[in-house]
Structure 1
């Protein structure tokens, strides 16, 4: 397996997504909560970025806005050169379907469909034919070739998450967003999943953004972005579990 060169601060890398002065406010008046407060952030293409922070820091809000699942109260979000806040609901739906992949903690597989049907669903909805060579390579790498005819109820949690990863990767999206992807997995399955995400970055050039609270999970990333009180609170390049844990302790976690 090829590995990407080390990612370091100031590296000259293509930007897959970015925010400019991003603000998100929930509620109004005295009850208003400023979840994000003028955040400028760049997500490097072909790299694995983890977003971390204390509870209420804005990390999940950040991911939802970057992925076009929610809209900001101010500032801008870009996917490549496309400003998401300028798009109609229909255009935004198309961007999410065609250019973004998702891996959720709860898998979000349709129970009535087989594993193969779940994987190919985004392409079917987009009216696109799958690249069968890429599909075959993907399911082999993920170790689910023999399980393609099974429905989610017939799969273990780890196998279901592998199907979800295959679904996210099959269309070769510009960015994959993973929201606490190991949250419902045992330790072994969780490490396997993180290794697969890292492999998709370093072997296939995929861009992955993951929200996690787990320092060990974050250590699989090339870069950790820290948030606190809706603002950027630091970055860690080439993180280890210990360096992430130390940074979180300094933020009062």
Structure 2
């Protein structure tokens, strides 16, 4: 019988986590408590979807965990770094060097080619591209013949695949995807989701995705459900049916 050796602490640490996270917008009678003491961790090399009704706090949670918004109290942890205690300068560096982003609106620079858009974060960070990884990404995403094209010369699906390649090219600790299929047709959306899932399987990437679509969430390894700014459920190995059922239960219990 083989003895299992415990992983060192840094290996067991979640890639990103919220600890008693609170976010309040406004003050007094008009205050809105978008996050109400959220504690949740997201494991390394896992594809997790965050879901919930409109106004549940899912986008706010992602923005706080990614250092795009400031929490009112609690902790937003990226590995061992508490983002709530960092200066704007440090947060800018963290976002550039340790986090990848995929947005619904693609956020490509129109004057740059696809290749230049993919490599831009690395250039801003003063890092050389891993050409092997770059080649793997553009080939897997079907972008090899589109690298010299500007965003206006690409379809929506192709633009989002460029955005995915850009997010992964720097080997970030975590990729945050905010409604990545929201502007895509069903076929293009499925291609993007399949690649995100494969990046977890093949590259060991950590992906945290906010979505309102049960079909998109079914590509994930896990679904975290939010309601009224609190964690309201957790599904492992979700299916379209189990996600839809959980969302329906949340709607009934509100």
Q: TM-score range by the shorter chain?
A: over 0.9
Does the alignment pair 1:136 with 2:135?
A: yes
Tell me, in whole angstroms, the C-alpha distance in 2 between the residues paired with 1:182 and 1:241: 16
Which residue in the other structure is 1:124 paired with?
Answer: 123
The offset of 1:26, in angstroms, is: 0.4
Tell me, in whole angstroms, the C-alpha distance in 1 between the residues paired with 2:12 and 2:205: 14
The offset of 1:134, in angstroms, is: 1.2
Secondary structure of the equivalent of 2:176? strand
Give 4+ residue runs of structure 1 displaced > 6 Å after superposition: none
TM-score normalised by the chain length of structure 2: 0.94
Tell me, in whole angstroms, the C-alpha distance in 1 between the residues paired with 2:165 and 2:38: 31
Secondary structure of the equivalent of 1:171? coil
Which residue in the other structure is 2:158 paired with?
Answer: 159
Which residue in the other structure is 1:101 paired with?
Answer: 100
The offset of 1:223, in angstroms, is: 0.3
Tell me, in whole angstroms, the C-alpha distance in 1 between the residues paired with 2:134 and 2:96: 18
Tell me, in whole angstroms, the C-alpha distance in 2 between the residues paired with 1:134 and 1:222: 24
Secondary structure of the equivalent of 1:146? helix
Does the alignment pair 1:62 with 2:61?
A: yes
Does the alignment pair 1:188 with 2:190?
A: no
Secondary structure of the equivalent of 2:251? coil
The offset of 1:37, in angstroms, is: 0.4
Map 1:42-121; keep pairs closer than 5 Å. 42-121=41-120
Deviation readout 1:118-155 (Å, 9 max, x if unpaired): 00000010111111111111111111010000000000
Map 1:191-230; keep pairs closer than 5 Å. 191-230=190-229
Secondary structure of the equivalent of 1:163? helix
Does the alignment pair 1:245 with 2:244?
A: yes
Tell me, in whole angstroms, the C-alpha distance in 2 between the residues paired with 1:13 and 1:188: 36
Of the structure 1 ranges 52-61 and 125-134, higher mean CA displacement relative to structure 2 is found in 125-134
Tell me, in whole angstroms, the C-alpha distance in 1 between the residues paired with 2:111 and 2:57: 35
Tell me, in whole angstroms, the C-alpha distance in 2 between the residues paired with 1:13 and 1:102: 24
The offset of 1:14, in angstroms, is: 4.2
The offset of 1:86, in angstroms, is: 1.1
Does the alignment pair 1:35 with 2:37?
A: no
Gaps of 5+ in 2: 1-10
Which residue in the other structure is 1:5 paired with?
Answer: none
Which residue in the other structure is 2:6 paired with?
Answer: none
Secondary structure of the equivalent of 1:199? helix
Superposed CA RMSD: 1.0
Which residue in the other structure is 1:236 paired with?
Answer: 235
The offset of 1:101, in angstroms, is: 0.1
Gaps of 5+ in 1: 1-11
Which residue in the other structure is 1:4 paired with?
Answer: none
The offset of 1:13, in angstroms, is: 5.3
Secondary structure of the equivalent of 2:171? coil
Tell me, in whole angstroms, the C-alpha distance in 2 between the residues paired with 1:226 and 1:138: 31
Tell me, in whole angstroms, the C-alpha distance in 2 between the residues paired with 1:32 and 1:195: 40
